[in-house]
Amino acid sequence: MDWQSAINSVLGGNRSPEEAPQEFDKVAQHTPPEVLAGGISEMFRSDQTPSFPEMISNLFRQSNPNQREGLVSQLLGSGGTNWMRELAGAAGLSELKSNSANEVSAEQVQQIAAHAEKQDPSVIDRVSSFYVQHPDVVKAVGGIALGIVLQHMVKRR
């Protein structure tokens, strides 16, 4: 099944937010990565969802250690040493490295994400591309947020 057929299969009838995770599963496995990443970016930027930092904190909580390291790496990806010092300071840490992500709390990741977003708004797109590789974690955002992802994909078909 191609991604457009997968989208069409979930379009019929009214869907509840509770059904969104199953619908997302059906579609995510067939959708081109750039389309899925675009939907995830829309979800992070939507005024119908919590803020990007709040959602990142939630996703961090739901992630395994490797995914946590990958996420922190994406958040740090746009700057050099000074950038990491600023982010570490914003999170109340003495230093910050992507390989120490499991020593960082979800609240600190939220602070890092807020700072990163202010410094470089394209961090949302990088994080979205990262989560294309981890669609099971994305389901943790809930039905309304997943509905936004699906709506974006419908527009792209």
Q: For 38-67, what is each residue's pLDDT tens digit?
A: 999 999 999 999 999 999 999 999 999 999
- In this structure, the number of other CB atoms found within 10 A of the CB of residue 101 comes to 23
Q: pLDDT digit string (tens) for 128-146?
A: 999 999 998 998 888 888 8
| CA dist., res. 13 & res. 11, Å (int) | 6
Q: Tell me the residue range of the domain where 103 lies.
A: 3-156
Helix axes 106-119, 65-76, angle to 10 degrees: 30
76-120 pLDDT per residue, tens: 875 544 555 565 565 555 555 555 666 788 998 999 899 889 888
pTM of the model as a whole = 0.80
- For residue 101, the model assigns a pLDDT of 64
Q: Could you tell me if 146 and 58 are in contact, meaning their C-beta atoms sit under 8 angstroms apart?
A: no
* Cβ count near 134 (within 10 Å): 17
Q: How many domains does the chain have?
A: 1
Go through 22-53 and write b for each residue having 16 or more CB atoms within 10 A of its CB, e for each that does not: ebbebbbebbeeebbbbbbbbbbebeebbebb
